[in-house]
Structure 1
Amino acid sequence: MKDLFSDDSKQYQRARPDYSPAIVETILKYVNRRELAWDCGAGSGQFTQRLAPHFQQILATDLSAAQLAEAPHLANVHYEAAQAAECPLPSQSVDLVTVAQAIHWFDFDSFYTEVKRVLKANGVIAVIGYGLIQAEQTELNELLQQLYFETLKGYWDAERRYIDESYQTIPFPFHEYTTPTLSLDYAWPAQQILNYLQTWSGLKHYQKLHPEQQPLAALLDFFQQQNKQQYQLHFPVLLRIGSVSQQ
């Protein structure tokens, strides 16, 4: 598993989208018991804190100790730095495994072997993510698309394609449930958008190789010419839910 986000853990925690209650509600429809959950690839705890009110105990793991240090302190949550395929929990002890915006970095085979080891009979796995940011304002959306598909073409890690393919091409060796179409909807000021873009791994790779260039120049010019306080944005939700045996 790659660690691309430790260096900017505080910015990642502040700038990344939050997860909606609708995502959690959709997942919990399939979870019969709520004693223990494992949130793998938890980062700074964005999804962990959404799960916390619904479980007696949660283990949140991540490769990055720096990311976990930014996570909120919750009484029923234990954070631990660990590889995705090295869960410290006993076999058949977990009711729900979640992975939010991280599974595309995992070694699928070793992770799924660990998932099947720790899940109880009829335990549930939920893979969550969000796709490319979309703006309602046409000109802004075109600039975001240009940045993603043109300026940063060739600078994304190969694993990013799984997000572009809506997680539909990742292996998923479980009994799978049908999920609704969901999106994360926001009204963000210009600085929030720019802060979010700075967390993109593709942008980090570009800036490392071309420190003299400004890949966000067109967006900076656009925002300077606007007189808008906020911009309406949407992130398509990627969601796959399954169980180790059919319920």
Structure 2
Amino acid sequence: MQEVKHTEQAWDCATGNGQVALELANYFKEVNATDISQAQLDQAETRENIHYSISRAEQTNFPDSTFDLITVAQAIHWFDFGAFYREVRRVSKPGGILAVWGYGVMQFADHQINEQLQHFYCVVTNPYWDPERRYLDEAYQTIPFDLPEINIPETFAIEQSFTLASLQGYLNTWSAVKKMQQKTSPKDPVGEFISGLQEYWPVAAMQPATFPIHLRVGRVE
């Protein structure tokens, strides 16, 4: 937030169920939050200063020179980069900030668990990930970033603890796992993976993990 000059208007692009928009609403007079999925927006919590709407990232109805801050969380790797950056330049105020970020695959503190998870991610499920996933694997350093970049020296991560059951539930949400299950049914690749972890992981135990956050920040000139 220290790079943002004014806090009148923010746009949270590809807001999903509005988690980032809710945070922005604590700092900005008005937040516009857009997504292409009405089902996602239907799950979003409302606030008086948040305005949700259906819109593509690359083409909106916002007036020129509107926003002090534009954010994109876990989504820019799906965009048409050139068209999106043109829209950012159009709707951003001069000197406005674009902040984009995504999170990588979790890393467990226990090295045996982590080795098994990395193998499941990098080898077992690898053929089933969409090609755009590589941008997250490359820490967002290879996404085209068409703005003068602001160096952010801090590193960020999401911390979360899992039981075997909650990890199994989380892995079953992976898009690659869903594709894999369709092709390998009736096999249960996640169930097999979880069974293999029981050698290192007592069933009721909580194991800490971190999701590294990959952040790029630029200023519109």
Deviations 1:31-60 (A, max 9, x none): 111111111111111222221101111111
Residue 227 (structure 1) shift: 4.2
Structure 1 counterpart of 2:165, from 165, 176, 191: 191
Give the gaps of 5 or more residues in structure 2. Answer: none
Identity of aligned residues (%): 40
Pair 1:39-2:27 in alignment: no
Q: Is the 8 A contact 2:172 2:190 kept in 1?
A: no
Q: Distance in 2 between matches of 1:136 and 1:96?
A: 35
1:237 partner amino acid: I
1:64 partner amino acid: S
Structure 1 counterpart of 2:209, from 233, 236, 244: 233
2:218 partner amino acid: G
Q: Distance in 1 between matches of 2:73 and 2:37?
A: 15
Q: Is the 8 A contact 2:163 2:203 kept in 1?
A: no
Q: Distance in 2 between matches of 1:232 and 1:218?
A: 21
Secondary structure in 2 matching 1:144: helix
Deviations 1:157-213 (A, max 9, x none): 000000000000011111111111111112233333222222212112212222212
Give the gaps of 5 or more residues in structure 1. Answer: 1-27
Q: Distance in 2 between matches of 1:161 and 1:63?
A: 22
Q: Is the 8 A contact 1:36 1:58 kept in 2?
A: yes
Secondary structure in 2 matching 1:47: helix
Structure 2 counterpart of 1:120, from 79, 82, 93: 93
Q: Distance in 1 between matches of 2:63 and 2:182?
A: 42
Larger displacement relative to structure 2 (86-95 or 197-206): 197-206
The count of aligned residue pairs is 218
Q: Distance in 2 between matches of 1:121 and 1:90?
A: 13
TM-score relative to the length of structure 2: 0.93
Deviations 1:7-44 (A, max 9, x none): xxxxxxxxxxxxxxxxxxxxx11111111111111111
Pair 1:212-2:186 in alignment: yes
Superposition RMSD in Å: 1.5
Secondary structure in 1 matching 2:127: coil
Q: Distance in 2 between matches of 1:67 and 1:195?
A: 20
Pair 1:59-2:32 in alignment: yes
Corresponding position of 1:202: 176
Q: Distance in 2 between matches of 1:87 and 1:197?
A: 34
Corresponding position of 1:81: 54
Corresponding position of 1:18: none
1:120 partner amino acid: K
Corresponding position of 1:144: 117
Secondary structure in 1 matching 2:26: helix
Pair 1:132-2:108 in alignment: no
Corresponding position of 1:154: 127
Corresponding position of 1:244: 220
Structure exhibiting the larger radius of gyration computed from Cα positions: 2
Larger displacement relative to structure 2 (199-208 or 86-95): 199-208
2:99 partner amino acid: A
Q: Distance in 2 between matches of 1:240 and 1:231?
A: 29
Pair 1:72-2:45 in alignment: yes
* Structure 1 residue ranges, 4+ long, deviating more than 6 angstroms after superposition: none
Deviations 1:119-152 (A, max 9, x none): 0000000001111111112222122112111111
Residue 223 (structure 1) shift: 4.6
Q: Is the 8 A contact 1:85 1:114 kept in 2?
A: yes
2:180 partner amino acid: Y
Q: Is the 8 A contact 2:65 2:90 kept in 1?
A: yes
